[in-house]
Structure 1
Amino acid sequence: MVTAALCLSIALMPMAVDAIPYTLDPEHLSVLRETLDEVGEFQQPYPALVDVTNPEDGTVDAAVDVSAGQLDDGTPVIVIEDDGAEDIARFLVLETEWQGLPAGTLLHGAGPNMAVVTHADDDASGLRAQGMLGFLDLLMAAPTLLDLDPTALALQLALKEVTGRVADDLPEFLDAFTASTAGEPVDETTLKRWQGRLPDTLLALWQRDGLARYLEDRLMLVNPDRYDAMLPPLLAGSALEGVDTFHVYGVTAFGQLFVCGENTAVEIVIDPYSGQVGMNPSMLAATDAEERSARLRFLLTMLEVKHLDLTDEHGHSVYATTRDRVGALARDEVYAPGPAGLVDGWESNLIRQNMFTSLEPMRTSSGRPEAP
């Protein structure tokens, strides 16, 4: 694995005169740089095609390790190490023009000898890059609370790597995961209606705490019935549409929706204000009720207050400053963007608003909301 600010001395191999370099577009190059600036070196799991020339052969679990580096002449590069095949391949992404190659150009090689990755049909490194770079779409779709909190990305990666190792002990989980504010009791009729459709872990919390708030009131559990009408516009055109029957089971203090499928993922986060749907596609495979319940326990165990908050320019908690300014949240309330929406300085102008009023545009929209 590589470390930040790795200094590389490379020898560039000759490229055919008519070859077309493989380059990342500015948007993908930007998201790589921004993620490195925010969280440092990171790992991103992704489903790697067994054969990039034949997608029907399916995928295998793979991951890339991404870090910052520079060439010995000071040219900044992004280092990507991919384990999507039997061997680990190293790619470099030029962040600026170098030796006549544009920013975004991919280099590939072992040791000091590196070659420009090209679009040529016989360039094996180009075929591998084509399959690997799908991780960028996952990176861009990762749920960031109001698109500002990079810890949500770290949480998603942790889920990918550790899911399945969480203790299968519901009583132990319930002892550790306690409500910060008690909620409205859930009656037996509601519990029975959702049995077998929602994870048992969630129903156990309902039965014990009602629709309570957790993590210093940053996350509240909700009755999915009241939110089901809002989901179709948010899912329209996303990778989730038509995959499963999905339900909202939690809402953050800022209005992000925690969503689970009846047969698939429990780790989906939707930001209704930007229209972002964050999830790991590898978790959309059908799973049994026991696994979904264990995965929800792990998700809730891993969540921390900082994952559900963000800081202003002075390093202060936006949740705390907003609560002090407009008051604590009542039932069904969230801190929502004001009438101006997500413009510069929005975090200082959040208002306390009923969740359903806040999402009224999503009730009537025929498609996903436009990102600001």
Structure 2
Amino acid sequence: MSFKFQWSAKMQQGFDEFENTMGVHRGFLIVSSTPVPVEVLEQYNGVLPENLLAYWERHGWCGYDNGMFWTVNPNDYTEIIERLSAISQLDDPSENFVIARGAFGDLEIWNRKRGNVMYYSPVIGLLYQWDIDVKQEKTEAELESAMASFFWRASSSDQDQEDEYEEPLFERALDKLGPLAENEMYAFVPATCLGGKWLLENLQKVDITTHIEMLMDLEEPRINIMRRVG
């Protein structure tokens, strides 16, 4: 099968490591795979790295490791990105894109000029962003390399959430509530910002974008600017 978008040797290595980390080679099935429409591939041609478009073209948007980690359509998160961009140093929402998310709604955000520089945790309403003096603008080749490195380093365990007793929740939520659909996340209800407890019995499956937007309405997102130490 021929593909329009090509990925680099480094991306192939990164993706192989990604699938190994996500358990694909150990029999952990991909829980969901949605083909990416041609018009979306064209929309992001020249905007996002070709390595990512090549992944989309070959694999679609997928859920991995029983639904712990998902690659996503950035178009589903445009309203969320507008609100997060407004509080960041990278305030042009047309250059920021959600490219992946976790089972509890954490968002991986890619900047068109600087790469993977932001991460949003809706449970605590905090946007983590590398300072622009630390993560400076990159060349096209550097961005392609950074995308390969993103897949190489991706870890589903980073997307787990701990309860009040510092015990991981994902496997227990999966057993109790069942697997997530591509548009769902596990969420605390009532929300923790309203005094809800970080407990398994408070988790529900909810629509991810609707819930994150609701949390933003309840509590304005805050930002943590990260700077290199030393």
2:95 is the counterpart of 1:245: yes
2:203 is the counterpart of 1:368: no
1:203 aligned partner: 53
Q: Against the structure 1 CA distance between its residues 368 and 186, is the aligned structure 2 distance closer, same or farther, given a 3 Å change threshold? A: same
1:305 aligned partner: 156
Q: Decide whether the 8 Å contact of 2:119 with 2:128 is kept in 1.
A: yes
2:11 is the counterpart of 1:170: yes
2:171 partner letter: A
Name the CA distance, whole Å, in 1 between partners of 2:177 and 2:41. Answer: 34
Q: Against the structure 1 CA distance between its residues 254 and 243, is the aligned structure 2 distance closer, same or farther, given a 3 Å change threshold? A: closer
Name the CA distance, whole Å, in 2 between partners of 1:245 and 1:323. Answer: 34
Secondary structure class of the residue paired with 1:247: strand
Q: Decide whether the 8 Å contact of 1:267 with 1:299 is kept in 2.
A: no
Q: Decide whether the 8 Å contact of 1:234 with 1:362 is kept in 2.
A: no
Count of residues in correspondence between the two structures: 204
Name the CA distance, whole Å, in 1 between partners of 2:135 and 2:222. Answer: 25
TM-score, scaled relative to structure 1: 0.49
Q: 1:289 aligns with which of 129, 140, 151?
A: 140
Q: Against the structure 1 CA distance between its residues 230 and 355, is the aligned structure 2 distance closer, same or farther, given a 3 Å change threshold? A: same
Per-residue CA deviation, residues 225-245 of structure 1 (Å, 9 max, x unaligned), is: 121122122232333324971
2:199 is the counterpart of 1:347: yes
Name the CA distance, whole Å, in 2 between partners of 1:170 and 1:360. Answer: 33
2:181 is the counterpart of 1:333: no
CA root-mean-square deviation: 2.9
Task: Extract unaligned runs of 5+ from structure 2.
Answer: 1-7, 25-29, 224-230
Query: Could you say which structure has the larger radius of gyration?
Result: 1
Q: Which has the higher contact order (CA 8 A, sep 6+)?
A: 2
Runs of 4+ in 1 over 6 A off after TM superposition: none
Q: Against the structure 1 CA distance between its residues 232 and 315, is the aligned structure 2 distance closer, same or farther, given a 3 Å change threshold? A: closer
Secondary structure class of the residue paired with 1:198: coil
Per-residue CA deviation, residues 150-192 of structure 1 (Å, 9 max, x unaligned), is: xxxxxxxxxxxxxxxxx96222333333363341101222112
2:171 aligned partner: 320
Q: Decide whether the 8 Å contact of 2:190 with 2:196 is kept in 1.
A: no
Task: Extract unaligned runs of 5+ from structure 1.
Answer: 1-166
**1:194: Cα distance to partner?**
0.5
> Greater helix percent: which structure?
2
Secondary structure class of the residue paired with 2:67: coil
**1:335: Cα distance to partner?**
0.6
Name the CA distance, whole Å, in 2 between partners of 1:209 and 1:297. Answer: 15
Q: Decide whether the 8 Å contact of 1:244 with 1:264 is kept in 2.
A: no
Sequence identity percentage: 24
1:256 aligned partner: 106
Name the CA distance, whole Å, in 1 between partners of 2:199 and 2:52. Answer: 31
TM-score, scaled relative to structure 2: 0.76
Secondary structure class of the residue paired with 1:227: helix
